[in-house]
Amino acid sequence: MNKRIVFFEGTKLILDTCMTQSAFTKSRFSEQIGTSGHIASKDGSSWNFEPWSFSETQLSDLPGGTVSFTAEAFPGNTLREILCTENDSDENKTRARGVAAAVCSAIEGARAQKINLEHNGGEGIFISSDCTKIIFLPEVFFTTAASSLGDEMFSDMQGLYVNANLTKDDSLAFTQAVIAYRMLAHQFPFPSKNTKERSEDILDANFKPLELLVPQADKQLAKTIDSALRLVPRQKKSSQKPAALFPAEAFVKTMTEEPALCDLTTSAEYAKKENSVKRHRWFRRHRATLTTAFAVTAVAVFILGTYFDSQMEKPTTRGLTSQQTVEMHYGAANRLDIESAQNSTAGGEMKGRVNILSNIYVSTKTRALFDAKLTCLTPAKWFCYNQTTFNIFGFADFKINGQPATLYTKGAERKHAPKAITQENNIPLKNGDTKTYAVSFYMLRTEGSDEMFVTKIDETVNLVFKKNRWLIKSTDTVQEENKISKTEFYTDYSKAMKDSSDDAKKAAELLHAKYEWVPSQSELEEAAADIEQNGIFGS
């Protein structure tokens, strides 16, 4: 541990803000010195909580010195310091166990009393030498100081312990689980000191489950810790159960027993989990080749061959405006119409995108061959069909330049020789002209027994006019993925359909307050019309 920003000196607890006097003055933190954290004091088997704040500042007398917050306190150490020195001696190991037990117990006390405790990492939690008092530093001061030291140091002090996407009780349960996991597994569940990588690991619950890693640990304890580490942000009005109570006695007992770690390299169950994470990331990152346990090359080739052979004539964007070309491409991607997606693009970058759609098509059709219940429908069709046994893949709430747009624009077949447009918005078109649109939508997909992924996507779409038609040449993408309970959504959907007498549009209105990504009214109308004309699987 090569850097500390929180330490006890003389009679005072000190937080080094890592700011020069000039920077500190500009931050106006001196005006906020009364911002409080909490001090937890042990009272028998319970904890009492009171606001706690710094009382003054001091400037280091070193050249280029920094400003620190200070306050009268008691001798002790930060949780991070104690964990870092745990293996230095038997005395330190015993001390670490006592501190971990005290902090987890205090957090549980805060959860029970509905105390809005600070979401601090190990450097922001200061424990007295006798483990009867714990200071949770003012969060804004601590996190600002830690973040100024670079990503690796910030991760070591703060990031390893928290899930920034969680709030209130869930956030406390997560930090509590991290501390317990660290003591039992002797490693952090999400150990990357790269915030981007660690955030992705947290999103995917990409950690070694304690139930597998420490098989001799108390079963309920391991289950509670693993469940807290898998917590996801709650939707509005969520019926998701609160995080489980922390089994403190079992935690202390298991630490004392020092159960051995299991080598997971030969664990079939862990290998299955790792493969699942890889699939999730393939969808999110739009790269690599999706593999499924039951897909074989011969079946994949057969499906692709059958699909492409059935396309007697290729569609074209000739005759479409630039916006219609965008609608054609995204509508094709929504329906996994590979030919239309391919023939609305140009260039190597977009070829890779079409290849990804081909892989998704192969995957979904292969799964459906083995089990018809795994058939995929677009979100709007799934919503209208009222058949929850099917999977979902596709787009919802599709907009172009902030306005609702259709996913049902289709290009004419080449054999019909559609007339090329020569101008757009009364401006003559010439080879090489370009156009840019802002596209936004939600990509929905279900996977596994209780997983639904909702990805908010914003894309800048760049088109070029080549010879006689518009084509998409590139996209710039920003996306944010969230995972929710498929069971919870399906339950809410079924209730909404029942309450609206199976009217999909009315059901969507009922659900929109909780699920902002449900298909729009116009999307449901178009999907219903398509089902009536072409059937549930046609388009």
* DSSP per-residue codes, 65-95: -EEEEEEE--SEEEHHHHHHTGGG-HHHHHH
Do 530 and 420 lie in one domain? The reply is: yes
Range of the domain at 485: 322-534
∠ CA 441-444-449, nearest 5°, is: 165
Identify the residue whose tokens are 């405790």: 117
Do 216 and 330 lie in one domain? The reply is: no
Cβ pair 37, 69 in contact under 8 A: no
Q: N- to C-terminal Cα distance for the chain?
A: 61
Residues sharing a CB contact under 8 Å with residue 387, sequence separation 6 or more, in sequence order: none
Cβ pair 447, 376 in contact under 8 A: no
Distance CA 422, CA 401 (A): 23
Do 50 and 197 lie in one domain? The reply is: yes
Q: Is residue 279 part of a domain?
A: yes
User: What CATH number does residue 119 fall under?
Assistant: 1.10.510.10
DSSP single-letter state for residue 206: -
Q: Is residue 157 part of a domain?
A: yes
Do 281 and 408 lie in one domain? The reply is: no
∠ CA 246-251-252, nearest 5°, is: 130
Do 373 and 497 lie in one domain? The reply is: yes
Q: Is residue 317 part of a domain?
A: no
At 351, phi and psi to the nearest 5? -60, -40
Closest to 3 in 3D by CA, of 12, 20, 16: 16
What six digits make up the tokens of 74?
């008691």
Do 11 and 100 lie in one domain? The reply is: yes
SS3 assignment, position 472: strand
Do 257 and 332 lie in one domain? The reply is: no
Closest to 218 in 3D by CA, of 263, 179, 248: 248
SS3 assignment, position 48: strand
Measured between alpha carbons, how far is residue 7 from residues 13, 68, 259, 467 in Å?
A: 6, 11, 33, 69
pTM of the model: 0.59
Distance CA 415, CA 54 (A): 78
Do 219 and 336 lie in one domain? The reply is: no
Give me the count of residues in the chain: 539
Distance CA 51, CA 58 (A): 22
Sheet with 6-9, side-by-side order of all strands:
6-9, 12-20, 66-72, 56-59
pLDDT truncated to tens, each residue of the chain (539 aa)?
668 999 999 999 999 998 888 888 887 888 888 899 999 999 998 999 999 999 999 998 776 689 999 999 999 999 999 999 888 888 999 999 999 999 999 999 999 999 999 999 999 999 999 999 999 999 999 998 998 888 899 999 999 999 988 888 999 999 999 999 999 999 999 999 998 889 888 988 899 999 999 999 999 999 999 999 988 776 555 555 678 899 999 999 999 999 999 988 888 888 877 777 777 676 666 543 443 333 343 444 444 544 444 444 689 999 999 999 999 999 999 888 888 889 999 988 888 888 777 777 766 666 665 555 667 889 999 988 776 778 888 999 999 999 999 999 999 888 888 899 999 989 999 999 999 999 999 999 886 667 888 999 999 999 999 999 999 999 999 988 888 888 889 899 999 999 999 898 999 999 998 999 999 999 999 988 888 777 776 66
What six digits make up the tokens of 225?
């810790």
Confidence at residue 423, expressed as pLDDT on a 0 to 100 scale: 92
The total domain count for the chain is 2
- Give the H/E segment covering residue 459: strand 451-466
At 43, phi and psi to the nearest 5? -135, 90
Distance CA 195, CA 64 (A): 29
Cβ pair 445, 453 in contact under 8 A: yes
Residues sharing a CB contact under 8 Å with residue 345, sequence separation 6 or more, in sequence order: 329, 351, 353, 354, 471, 472, 473
Do 390 and 481 lie in one domain? The reply is: yes
DSSP E strands: which ranges in 485-521?
Answer: none
Do 327 and 260 lie in one domain? The reply is: no
Question: What sign does the dihedral 324-330-334-339 (CA atoms) show?
Answer: positive
Do 19 and 136 lie in one domain? The reply is: yes
At 288, phi and psi to the nearest 5? 70, 180
